[in-house]
Structure 1
Amino acid sequence: MVLERKLQKSPPPPMYQVVMLNDDYTPMEFVVDVLQSFFNKDEHTANMIMQKVHMEGRGVCGVYTRDIAHTKVALVMDAAAQAGHPLQCVAEPAQE
């Protein structure tokens, strides 16, 4: 007798959103450049996100699995530090 194994579907991994936080010192051009470089946003979308960060205090750059989100945060924080900007970026569980 041969028993068939049922394939079990594992749930999708939890998603995390990368959120950029506003500060009064980081130039808007730098924020746009970061959004284009690390999040592959086109110029229009990067400007829209930058304006949201500027006006509302925070803006979502993208939604990724946990490891990718934390890697993107680290890349942004390193780039900001190297450029001498206090830009802050965090990863938090995505709202469903």
Structure 2
Amino acid sequence: MEGVVVEKEAVLGANVVLTKSTRIIDVSKEVAIETKGRIPARSVVIPGTYKKKFPAGEYQVPCALIIGKRKASTDLKTSLNDALRDFNVAV
């Protein structure tokens, strides 16, 4: 099965790439925690990269960075989207 579970009210920044093999790194605490396949509820996620060595050299590979939890101010910014979904309004 290919894909990622994005739990309720998670916020994904522009250009976040999520696949089954994408590293998801929670950098919101003192120690980074790496997972794959699941974005926890109310997480705020932005695109990032990590270094990976290949025979031809070292390159930056895309990942998803969890930088924190959704705040009340984010809820206000997304309230219009929620209302449109609730009333099945296409835009």
TM-score by length of 1: 0.22
- Of structures 1 and 2, the one scoring higher in RCO (CA 8 A, sep 6+) is 1
Larger radius of gyration: 1
Kindly indicate which of the two structures has a greater share of residues assigned to strand.
2
Kindly indicate which of the two structures has a greater share of residues assigned to helix.
1
